[in-house]
Each structure stands twice: as C-alpha cells, then as structure tokens.
Amino acid sequence: MQSMTSLNKITDFRRPVAINLANRTATSACDDCAARHHGLCEALSDEEVGFLFRAAQRQTLPAGTVFIEEGEAAAYFYNVNSGNVRLFKSLPDGRRQITGFAGPGHFLGLAATEKNVFSAESMEPVRLCRFSRAALLSMFAEYPILERKLLDVAMHELVLGQQQMLLLGRKTAIERIASFLLSWAERQDVCSSGALPKPHSSLTLPLSRTDLADYLGLTIETVSRSLSTLKREGLIEIPNIHEVVLLRPQALSDIAEAAV
C-alpha cells in the first residue's frame, strides 16, 4: 500500500497552457472518458463538463495507491475516470471495514467536515480528475447547478449507506453474497437500474476474496463456502477468481430479498 507522500511520483498534470481551454468543448475533452456517461458527468451539459475539465488536475495512479486517507485534511475532491477504487475505514486494532467501491463516474471526497471520514485505495490502475476544495467552491459560484447536482450525488450515497446497513445487520452470509452479485451487475451496466441481469451474464470482479469478506462483514472462509453453495445449486459459475457468471439471476434475487 502506498502512502500519500508517494503520490508525488504519480502522474499529476494540467493541460499545457498553450491550449486554449476556454474554447475546448466537452466533446474534444471528455467524450473518450469512461466517466462522461456515468454519475455526475452524465447529468451535466457539455458546457458544464467543459468547465469541470478546465478546473481539473488529471492523475494516473498505480494499483494499491491510497489517495484519500481517513483523518487527513479534506483538501481535494475526486472524480473516477477509469478503474476501480475500494473505500474503507480502519479500526484501532488494524482491522478494516470496506464500506464501498467506486468506479467510473463516482465522485469522492464530499466530506462534511474538514477531515476525510474514510480512506480510498486504487484496486487497479486508476485515472482520476482531482479538484481542490477552493476550486470547487469557485465552480459553485459560477455554476450553481453543480452544487445542486452534487447534492443529488450525496443523497444517492446516503441511500447506498442505508442499503449497506441492511446488508450487514439483517442478512445471512449467502443472502449478502447474492445481494452483492446483483448490485455489482447493475454497477457494471449488465442490467438497468432495478432490473435483473439476463441469465448467463458475466461479471468481472477486480476485488479479492479478502475485499469481499471485508465489505460483507464475513470471513474469507464463509465467502468461499457461500460462493461454492451458489455454484453447487446451479445459480452461478466461477470460471476464474475474478469472474462470476450469473446463471439464474431470478433465483439469486429471491435469496437476496429473503431477509427484507
């Protein structure tokens, strides 16, 4: 795991001054970005996205880089452009609780206090847009609609937090696994929001079994047994450690909703 000081060695650049950024459109600046059609950027017009582009610092991080540290000053906000990030909180005895995952389109660092309330680490090579807190306040003054749309993002995160409390507080191990697989399918755009994926949909899981255990509040052994049970019952197939095929999504949904 890399510390925050190691970020000095990571690519972190602004566009060359010679480029007239004011005249660049979102089409030329951001259309190739995986985040353009997800999260906050999807809700913004080309003009608003172009404004964000001009205020952003681009970063490329290798896997295993902690770029937000719990308890440190909340000086920056981040928009994930590509790759996946794990969000976690640390306990005094060194254990951690993964509280969520972020991918393209996720906006991170919306701390209500002056300090970060969680840590964020890249799970694979990740590209980000970074904004200073001061720059974001300036953007709000020029584009008030950004503040309203970020509030929508924060409210969505609150809903996800409530779902996570239900997951950890009421569901059995196998119900947690089934819920996670269906939510990951929605995250990967395998299905639309609220819909079930089609039978035999394939999911790519960049996280390890340890990550999954930390997120679901289970042991690695319990995660492995639960996945084996779902496989044995013909609900999923596991071609390799980072891929799961959902053979019977409706049956998974029935299991996931059993505790609700």
Q: Read off the pLDDT of residues 100-139 as tens digits, 9 standing for 90 and up.
A: 888 888 888 876 678 888 999 999 999 998 988 877 777 7
Query: What beta strand segments (E) does the chain contain?
Result: 11-13, 57-61, 66-68, 76-82, 85-90, 96-102, 107-108, 119-122, 126-132, 201-204, 236-240, 243-246
Q: What pairs with residue 236 in β-bridges?
A: 246
Put simply, whether the predicted model's pTM sits higher than 0.85 gets the answer: no
Residue 202 CB partners (closer than 8 Å, separation 6+) = 190, 243, 244, 245, 246
The 3-state secondary structure of 56-74 reads: CEEEEECCCEEEECCCCEC
Right CATH for 171-256 from 1.10.357.10, 1.10.10.10, 3.30.200.20, 3.40.30.10: 1.10.10.10
What are 235-254's pLDDT values in tens digits?
Answer: 999 999 999 999 999 999 99
For position 178, what pLDDT does the model report?
93
Nearest-angstrom CA–CA distance, 12 and 25: 22
* Confidence label for 67 from pLDDT (cuts 50, 70 and 90): very high
* pLDDT tens string 194-244: 678 899 999 999 889 999 998 898 999 999 999 999 999 999 999 999 999
Q: Which CATH number fits domain 4-153: 2.60.120.10, 3.10.20.440, 3.40.50.300, 1.10.760.10?
A: 2.60.120.10
